[in-house]
Structure 1
Amino acid sequence: MLEGYACLGFVAGQTRNLRLGLLVSGVTYRHPGLLAKIVTTLDVLSGGRAMFGIGAAWYDREHEGLGVPYPPLAERFERLEETIQIVRQMWSENDGPYDGAHYRLAETINVPQPLQRPRPPILIGGAGEKKTLRLVAKYADACNIFAMGPEVVKSKLDVLAQHCEIEGRDYSTIQKTILGGPDPLADTDAFLAEMERYAAIGIDHVQLAPQTPDPVGFAARLGDRVIPRLAGITA
């Protein structure tokens, strides 16, 4: 596939309203300081439409093929939390140093700053109950969970709510999103019925991937047949 942020830069220049983000970038692929600059650049050049999607990474074959270090899972989660801390610091008025276990920055200067205030939204992908959802409660503006069925996703959201209570975070301030679901073009009625069940448990956004080798046609048919009806679904 094409490199994600280069693609988003191109899309930013061709559009005016689309939210722009990766779902999600593996924490291992880009140094946190440069990643903050990349997302900042996207936000500035798009007029404030960037979203920062991040996760702990998983695809060992891709790492090995590209020569990117692939540390153990526990370390990847440590790096994920440090990366989020660094990005948030760079998107704040604090331009001092950052000294973590894995990353050390002498300065966290980020000029220009993103257009969005207080910063671009942060989305963390994954559904791990002990670590991922805790990081969502502590740092993120949105979560993304695979569409594993409304009952399973509801159990994940219940865990997220528990983490929010521990962290002193207002659960309602986190956008809850899913990835996947039934093929929306093969049986649109069945897809929309499933989305109604997800909306009832608090999901307010669904991410879809093309189901055919014609992604442009897929997106066009979604716009014609699905999105107008999907937009009418409320919790």
Structure 2
Amino acid sequence: MELGVHYANFSHPDWADRLEERLTETARVADEGGVSLLTLMDHWFQMEEMGGPSEPMLEGYTTLGYLAAVTERVRLSLLVTGVTYRHPGLLAKQVTTLDRLSRGRAMLGIGAAWYDREHAGLGVPFPSTSERFERLEEALEVCLQMWGDDEGAYEGSHYRLAETVNVPPVRQRPHPPILIGGAGEKKTLRLVAKHAQMCNLFSEGTDVVAHKLDVLRRHCDDAGTDYDAIEKSIIWMGDTTDPDAFLTEMSGYAPLGIQTVVVVPGGDDPVAWTTDMVEKVLPRLADL
């Protein structure tokens, strides 16, 4: 298995003065230590369970562009951007820019969005769940068209583009990998099967994850896509202070086909946490 780091919390001690320093050093340790994926949340307000809007939150793509300049190897993505946050033409351009400036390390992490408070807070429309999923599928189609050879119009129910011009083109071919976050069996996993190169599931236990992957396999069969070509990942929100216990947990997920576990740094010092993970856990994780 490979290790991903999800930098979700900026509220470490003295963050007002040291936020940028900690983020930068954490990214460098992860990059040099062999972490395969570095992700950020894409929120305007911090989530309420992590302190809410009064806590610090950086804008996602600006931050990834900065991280592209201070790293060399690690893949970069948001986990995940909500489809309501940006017009898909702009989103495709942003991911293209990240892909070029990172020399081919960008991913498009995307989902249907859920945090209504930040939408209301900043005056951004928050459609119904069904409409957000409609928009998600159209946004994926727009991005794929902009990353392809067709510079013509796109006519959807929610998005209409007169020219899908995207110059310079993406560096990765045929396009940056698409990661769709979420585990909804009827809509989300169907979109993974149809469009994505990576899925990200919650670590809700091996039985739940095995079931979700079975659903994904059936959607791939229906769509005529290759289940085995999709990278399977989980986000682990549990404890990592005991490396042996953590690795025991991961040994249950690896046989299911989980290739990457994404972990949120714990404690008050993300640099020290990341250092411990790459030195004490990552080599053993790679053996699973």
Q: With the length of structure 1 as denominator, give the TM-score of the two structures.
A: 0.97
Judge conservation of contact 2:61–2:94 (CA < 8 Å) in 1.
yes
Q: Identify which of structures 1 and 2 has the higher relative contact order when contacts are C-alpha pairs closer than 8 Å and 6+ apart.
A: 2
- 1:48 aligned residue: 104
Between the aligned partners of 2:235 and 2:267, the Cα distance in structure 1 is 17
1:107 maps onto 2:163 in alignment: yes
Aligned match for 2:234, one of 178, 185, 189: 178
Number of equivalenced pairs: 232
Aligned pairs for 1:12-91 (under 5 A) are 12-91=68-147
Partner secondary structure for residue 144 of structure 1: strand
Report the AA paired with residue 202 of structure 2: F
Return the alpha-carbon distance in structure 2 between the equivalents of residues 231 and 69 of structure 1: 43
1:226 lines up with 2:281 in the alignment: yes
Equivalent residue number for residue 176 of structure 2: 120
Residue 205 in 1 paired to residue 228 in 2? no
Q: Is the 8 A contact 2:243 2:281 kept in 1?
A: yes
Which residue, 222, 246, 255 being the options, matches 1:191? 246
Task: Compute the RMSD of aligned alpha carbons.
Answer: 0.9
Task: State how far apart, in whole Å, the 2-side matches of 1:89 and 1:212 are.
Answer: 42
> Is 2:203 aligned against 1:147?
yes
- Aligned-partner Cα distance in 1 for 2:130–2:254: 33
Q: For 2:276, give the aligned amino acid.
A: R
> Within the alignment, does 1:133 sit opposite 2:133 as a pair?
no
**C-alpha distance in structure 2 between counterparts of 1:88 and 1:2, whole Å:** 27
1:93 aligned to 143, 149, 161, which one?
Answer: 149
2:61 corresponds to: 5
**Native 8 Å contact 1:124 1:142 kept in 2:** yes
**d(CA) in 2 for partners of 1:181 and 1:232?**
22
Kindly state the Cα deviation for residue 31 of structure 1 after the two structures are TM-superposed: 0.6
Residue aligned with 2:232, SS: strand
- 8 Å CA contact 1:27–1:83 kept in 2: the answer is yes
Kept in 1, the 8 Å contact 2:69–2:102? The answer is yes
Give, in whole Å, the separation in 2 of the partners of 1:128 and 1:212: 31
Maintained 8 Å contact 2:202/2:236: yes
Find the partner of 2:223 among 117, 142, 167.
167
SS across alignment from 1:206: strand
Deviation of 1:75 (Å): 0.3
Residues in 2 aligned to 1:130 and 1:213: alpha-carbon distance in whole angstroms = 39
- Return the alpha-carbon distance in structure 2 between the equivalents of residues 61 and 51 of structure 1: 26
**4+ residue stretches of structure 1 with deviation over 2 A?**
none
Q: Which runs of 5+ in 2 are unaligned?
A: 1-56
Q: Deviations over 1:109-157 (max 9, x none)?
A: 1000111011000000000000000000001001001111111000000
Is the contact made by 2:237 and 2:264 (CA closer than 8 Å) also made in structure 1? no
Unpaired runs of 5+ in structure 1? none
Q: 2:201 is paired with a residue of what secondary structure?
A: strand
- 1:182 Cα offset (Å): 3.2
User: Once the 2 structures are TM-superposed, how far is the Cα of residue 181 of structure 1 from its aligned partner?
Assistant: 4.8
TM-score by length of 2: 0.79
**Percent identity between the two aligned chains:** 61
